[in-house]
């Protein structure tokens, strides 16, 4: 069964706008990771946030984590057409083999030029 | 693509035939994974390896077997392919436990007719 569920399933915005994607999960985690997938390619790691962290930044990416609500959000600021891709959250579960990641179903982001 | 090569990139096979997919890495990473990606399901873990000859099942392991005789190679075998195994298969590698991200290959598109 899927651990993470992303919301929305699809998002279309204009270039320059911000894009926010959300991820909810079910069990306690060690960390949560976000990945990006361009069409026809493998996933690329974007950012990792540990369970004891609440916010993390990397360039135009901002990730928040709320372990009390079992949710995370990924914000992409000043979006570009090149940001068009699918975005997945993945969790490494507490107490399990932390090298096993469970992925959500993804958010398809379309950035219109 | 972090030194990961999947072969073949595309394959069409008939129901009931055996199929082997290969993942080769040049990073000397300890952990290797096989995921399948299907619409509406995201990525699901099939099997993973935490060392030479050390493997374990993922959440969708039925109908699949794996082998890892060398650090650099991780083979996924469908003993008798079924139409439900039509999917895109991704190999991933990771340097270690805990907070290590996964690096993905570009996938193998398998069609079982």
B43 to A88: CB separation less than 8 angstroms, yes or no: yes
Residue B36, pLDDT score: 97
Backbone angles phi, psi at A81, to 5 degrees: -55, -30
Q: Which of A1, A45, A97 sits opposite B101 (nearest CB)?
A: A45
Beta carbon pairs, A and B, within 8 Å: 73
**Rounded CA separation B98/A48 (Å):** 11
Residue of chain B whose alpha carbon sits nearest to that of A90: B43
Q: List chain A residues with CB under 8 Å of B40.
A: 105
What tokens appear for A82 in the block? 């090149």
Beta carbons within 8 Å of A111's beta carbon, 6+ residues apart: A12, A13, A14, A15, A19, A79, A80, A81, A82, A83, A84
Q: What is the mean pLDDT of residues B8-14?
A: 97
What digits encode the pLDDT tens for the residues A74-103? 999 999 999 999 999 999 876 655 567 889
Give the pLDDT band (50/70/90) at residue A2.
very low
What digits encode the pLDDT tens for the residues B40-54? 888 999 999 999 999
Q: What is the mean pLDDT of residues B29-37?
A: 94
Q: Which of B40, B90, B99 sits opposite A105 (nearest CB)?
A: B40
Q: List chain A residues with CB under 8 Å of B43.
A: 43, 88, 90, 103
**Mean pLDDT of all residues belonging to chain B:** 93
| Strand pairing class (A85-93; A71-76) | unpaired
Decide if pLDDT at B99 tops 90: no
Residue B68, pLDDT score: 97
Give the pLDDT band (50/70/90) at residue B1.
low
Q: List chain A residues with CB under 8 Å of B104.
A: 42-44
What digits encode the pLDDT tens for the residues A21-57? 999 999 888 899 999 999 989 999 999 999 999 999 9
Report the b/e string of B32-60 with b at 16+ CB within 10 A: bbbbbbeeeebbbbbbbbbeeeebeebeb
What tokens appear for A112 in the block? 């219109």
Residue A102, pLDDT score: 87
Alpha carbon of A75: minimum distance to chain B alpha carbons (Å): 20
Residue A93, pLDDT score: 75
Reduced to 3 states, what is the DSSP secondary structure of residue A82?
Answer: helix
């Amino acid at each position: 069964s899927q651990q993470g569920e992303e919301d929305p399933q699809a998002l279309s915005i204009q270039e320059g706008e911000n894009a926010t994607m959300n991820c909810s999960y079910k069990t306690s985690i060690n960390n949560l990771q976000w990945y990006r997938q361009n069409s026809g390619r493998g996933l690329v790691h974007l950012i990792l946030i540990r369970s004891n962290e609440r916010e993390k930044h990397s360039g135009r990416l901002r990730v928040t984590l709320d372990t009390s609500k079992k949710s995370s959000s990924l914000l992409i600021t000043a979006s570009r057409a090149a940001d068009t891709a699918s975005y997945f959250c993945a969790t490494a579960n507490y107490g399990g083999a932390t090298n096993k990641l469970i992925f959500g179903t993804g958010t398809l982001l379309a950035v219109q030029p | 693509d972090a030194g990961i090569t999947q072969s073949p990139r595309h394959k069409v096979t008939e129901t009931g035939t055996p199929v082997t997919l290969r993942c080769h890495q040049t990073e000397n990473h300890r952990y290797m994974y096989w995921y399948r990606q299907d619409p509406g399901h995201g990525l699901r873990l099939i099997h993973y390896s935490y060392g030479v000859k050390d493997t374990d099942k993922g959440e969708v392991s039925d109908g699949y077997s794996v082998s890892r005789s060398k650090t650099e190679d991780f083979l996924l075998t469908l003993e008798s392919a079924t139409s439900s195994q039509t999917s895109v298969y991704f190999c991933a590698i990771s340097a270690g436990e805990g907070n290590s991200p996964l690096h993905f290959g570009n996938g193998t598109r398998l069609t079982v007719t």
